Amino acid sequence: MNGDWLLLGRDGRLSVYLPSDDAALWRAERTPAGSWEAARRIGGDQELCPGGLAIGRGPDGYAHLAAWRPTGSQRCDLVHTTHFRPLLAPLDWQSAGHPNKQGDRTGTPAVAVDAQGRAHVFVRNRGGGMSMVAQREKGGWAPWRDLLGSGVQESPTAVTTQSGLVEVYAPVRGGILRWSQEEPGTRMVLGERLDVTVRPGTLRALATSEKHTTVFYTDDDTGELCALRPGGEPAPLLPAAGPGPVSAARTVIDGYDCTVIAQRSAGSGRVAFAAYPSELEEMGAAWTESGPALPADATVSLALDADGRLVAATLSPSTGQLLLSRRKDEAGLALGAWRAV
């Protein structure tokens, strides 16, 4: 899954989204912080290509999902759906087309939603550059745009800044490419190349202040988890706990705006957490492990609930087991017991 898959709906209920064979599923809280409904299939009987589910949340609390759908032999198109309320079914999958008009899947998509609630779907095109399709303000989709770039690798990450502008980052050999908007609704512009040694498939971006987005990635040479803001220098935080991207969220800890990151530890199989004052990487961070040992395919997602309390979720596609833990009303980053839902 590309993006945080634990999301808070505008009615105060949490939802989780997960791929399952040829489909995507969702589960939701029946009441805020209460019990959970059983998993339900998105889009009825429509089939999806395995893997590649991308998820984004708009400022209105609506969830936007994108995936590949087969349309014939070695042919597929990108499809999109919107989920307005956790207890209501998402809309049916609707085609958003193909970055090269037709053909097979070209890469893992990423989704971000601007301040006007319009989804922007990004995916590598057949030529190795980045392409984008965005919703029109009055419905439907604008034409696909080739955003240029070359050598784009798997799993870009898209993010919406606090001012509602959309950015997307993609790993390339020896660096990261960044595209961004200068004003709401304007075209995405390819910016400066960020020269770092990034391990493909490890990017995660988070709006960490009114002005800045922080990109987290694993350095392919050192194995260090690093934080980077455009125009700045990479800041090594601590050794990556495991493969893939971290999940990241901002919350107030002991009166300070802090960034919390989480990742399944490849060593113990448990969830590793770290926190530090937002954009003050020089203060340092250290992993603290929590919960039971999880299967190797388990992923972690962080969100804030309706009360602003940090919630962590783990999901294992092989077992279907969903575990949740909420922050306790104590000083520091103290999590409650993990429970299966």
**What is d(CA 183, CA 341) in angstroms, rounded to the nearest whole number?**
42
Contacts of 101 (CB under 8 A, 6+ apart): none
SS3 content of the chain, % helix, strand, coil (to 5): 0, 45, 55
**What is d(CA 132, CA 182) in angstroms, rounded to the nearest whole number?**
16
Structure tokens at 158: 């898209």
pLDDT of amino acid 229: 96
How does pLDDT run across 58-77, given as a tens digit for each residue?
999 999 999 999 999 999 99
Q: Where are the domains of the chain?
A: 6-340
Q: Decide: pTM greater than 0.75.
A: yes
Dihedrals phi, psi of 57, to nearest 5 degrees: -120, 130
| 127, 141, 164, 167, 194 from 190: Cα distances, Å | 16, 21, 18, 10, 11
Amino acid residing at 333: L
Q: By the 8 A CB rule, do 249 and 302 touch? A: yes
**How many CB atoms neighbour CB 280 within 10 A?**
14
How does pLDDT run across 131-190, given as a tens digit for each residue?
999 999 888 999 999 999 999 998 999 999 999 999 999 999 999 999 999 998 889 999
Dihedrals phi, psi of 29, to nearest 5 degrees: -70, 140
pLDDT of amino acid 45: 87
Q: How far apart are the first and last CA of the chain?
A: 20
pLDDT of amino acid 210: 92
Question: Across the strands, what pairs with 159?
Answer: 167
Q: By the 8 A CB rule, do 297 and 317 touch? A: yes
pLDDT of amino acid 52: 85
pLDDT of amino acid 96: 97
pLDDT of amino acid 44: 87
pLDDT of amino acid 301: 98
Q: By the 8 A CB rule, do 87 and 13 touch? A: yes
Task: Identify the segments of the chain with pLDDT beneath 50.
Answer: none
Q: Cα 170–20–113 angle (5° rounding)?
A: 40
**The domain over range 6-340 is classified in CATH as 2.60.40.10:** no
What is residue 281's three-state secondary structure?
Answer: helix
Q: By the 8 A CB rule, do 8 and 306 touch? A: yes
**What is d(CA 140, CA 95) in angstroms, rounded to the nearest whole number?**
10
List the one residue out of 54, 53, 100 whose CA is nearest residue 76. Answer: 100
What is residue 316's three-state secondary structure?
Answer: strand
**What is d(CA 79, CA 86) in angstroms, rounded to the nearest whole number?**
20
pLDDT of amino acid 338: 97
